[in-house]
Amino acid sequence: MPVPFYNFKALHTQQFKAKVLERMDEIISQNSFIEGSYNQSFESRFATLQQAGRCLLVANGTDALEIALKAHNIGAGDKVGVPGITFYATSEAVINVGATPIFIDVCPNSGLIDIASTQRMLEQHKLKAIIPVHIYGLPAPIAALNKICGPLKVAIIEDAAQAQGGQYCEENLNGAIGSAGNLTTFSFYPTKNLGAFGDAGAILSPNTMLSDKIIAIRNHCRGKINELAHLGQNSRCDSFQAAVLDLKLDNIDEINQKRKDVAANYYQILLEGPLKLMPKSYLKAASWHLFPVLCASLAQKQKLQKHLGQHGIGNLDFYDQSQNQILSLRKYPGEWENAENFANKVICLPMNPFLELKDVQEVSEVLKLFFNA
Ligand SMILES: *Cc1c(COP(=O)(O)O)cnc(C)c1O
């Protein structure tokens, strides 16, 4: 029996679609297509959910990163630390504001930003900001980073595109992702844990000064703040996307819990097996956007991908290249030994809120066929 990677059919039920159409009809009759009342509703509810000061919707997750960098006055001549394991957009945003990405190495067992490498890059390159990424929905060590960066006045922007519904997981920090006092960016691309019916993104902001800058930048720097060092841009979120996202918030806790239950099933069944799972300490805190596991080598991974494909098991190798290996990013400096190793070995197994125990068992049976062959 095939096990699909995603399952949008189960997520977007007839009942849900009917409610979306009702809202679309309402938006059309009100001629309120951009930044309408559902934008305000979503912003206020999402800020509460993520325990942050304020939420500002923008057009997508890449813009959210760019605008957060601009809000911290980061531009030409500045260096920004980016972990080696992330989606390309994290580095792209840094380059698009005129700054230079410096690659920071990752922990070999999680792909998350490594503290010792961060410290070395801060010293060697005089970074003005770092962008820790909650990659796969695993929480990056933000309390430790806040402690290092605070005294140096290095800004932290958390890339939480994959961490909607996640919590921090440190001794002295365990609130919702976005509650640690840093600008925190989200993507609502349709495949993310909370997905729009198109593109959308958001920034969580801890204070009025940053919120006001973001509000100005996302709408051409019209309005009150005209003295910004940077030009603004058009990154408004349209009312239709906000209406869909606002509807999805109604059962988001239940959906997030289901992902955690799927992850728990995987741990129960695969923990003793030959594939290496992410550290079990993240099990309850992670948002489990994806379910990455590590193979023993690149050769084994390639064989396994083929085997899974032949048996109808969805799989994707996010991320098969560390940032420094990507063609347009090869000229930037930093550290990446662990990141390259991780990229070689990582493969993501099916993960969506609708996988049942029998689906996870099926994945396990197909893995057994491979490893016992
Ligand atoms: C999806 C994603 C982004 C970019 O979001 P878009 O909405 O596609 O622009 C940025 N960073 C990470 C880690 C992502 O997964």
Helical pair 61-71 and 208-217, crossing angle rounded to 10 deg: 120
pLDDT at position 167 is 97
> Distance (Å, rounded) from C-alpha 105 to C-alpha 84?
6
> Distance (Å, rounded) from C-alpha 69 to C-alpha 334?
20
Q: Which of helix, strand or coil describes residue 27?
A: helix
Ligand 1 atom closest to the CA of 89, numbered from 1: 10
Residue 360 CA to ligand 1 center (angstroms) comes to: 27
Ligand 1: residue of 87, 131, 218 to mutate (most ligand atoms within 8 A of CB) is 87
Residue 186 CA to ligand 1 center (angstroms) comes to: 7
pLDDT at position 221 is 85
- The answer to whether the beta carbons of residues 311 and 291 sit under 8 Å apart is no
Residue 363 CA to ligand 1 center (angstroms) comes to: 27
> Distance (Å, rounded) from C-alpha 202 to C-alpha 137?
16
Ligand 1 atom closest to the CA of 200, numbered from 1: 7
* Whole-model pTM over 0.85: yes
Residue 157 CA to ligand 1 center (angstroms) comes to: 14
pLDDT at position 325 is 98
CA-based nearest residue to 179, from 296, 67, 94, 54: 54
pLDDT at position 223 is 64
Q: Tell the residue number behind the tokens 């001629």, with chain if given.
A: 31
Residue 236 CA to ligand 1 center (angstroms) comes to: 17
> Distance (Å, rounded) from C-alpha 315 to C-alpha 92?
25
Residue 185 CA to ligand 1 center (angstroms) comes to: 9
pLDDT at position 1 is 86
pLDDT at position 270 is 97
Ligand 1: residue of 63, 187, 290 to mutate (most ligand atoms within 8 A of CB) is 187
Q: Tell the residue number behind the tokens 């893995």, with chain if given.
A: 367
pLDDT at position 230 is 57
Nearest CA, atom 10, ligand 1: 89
Pocket of ligand 1 contains residue 166 by CB under 6 Å? no
The sign of the dihedral angle between the CA atoms of 3, 300, 106, 125 is negative
For every one of its 373 residues, what pLDDT tens digit does the chain have, with 9 covering 90 and above? 899 999 999 999 999 999 999 999 999 999 999 999 999 999 999 999 999 999 999 999 999 999 999 999 999 999 999 999 999 999 999 999 999 999 999 999 999 999 999 999 999 999 999 999 999 999 999 999 999 999 999 999 999 999 999 999 999 999 999 999 999 999 999 999 999 999 999 999 999 999 999 999 999 887 655 555 558 999 999 999 999 999 999 999 999 999 999 999 999 999 999 999 999 999 999 999 999 999 999 999 999 999 999 999 999 989 999 999 999 999 999 999 999 999 999 999 999 999 999 999 999 999 999 999 8
Pocket of ligand 1 contains residue 89 by CB under 6 Å? yes
Q: Tell the residue number behind the tokens 């813009």, with chain if given.
A: 63
pLDDT at position 231 is 81
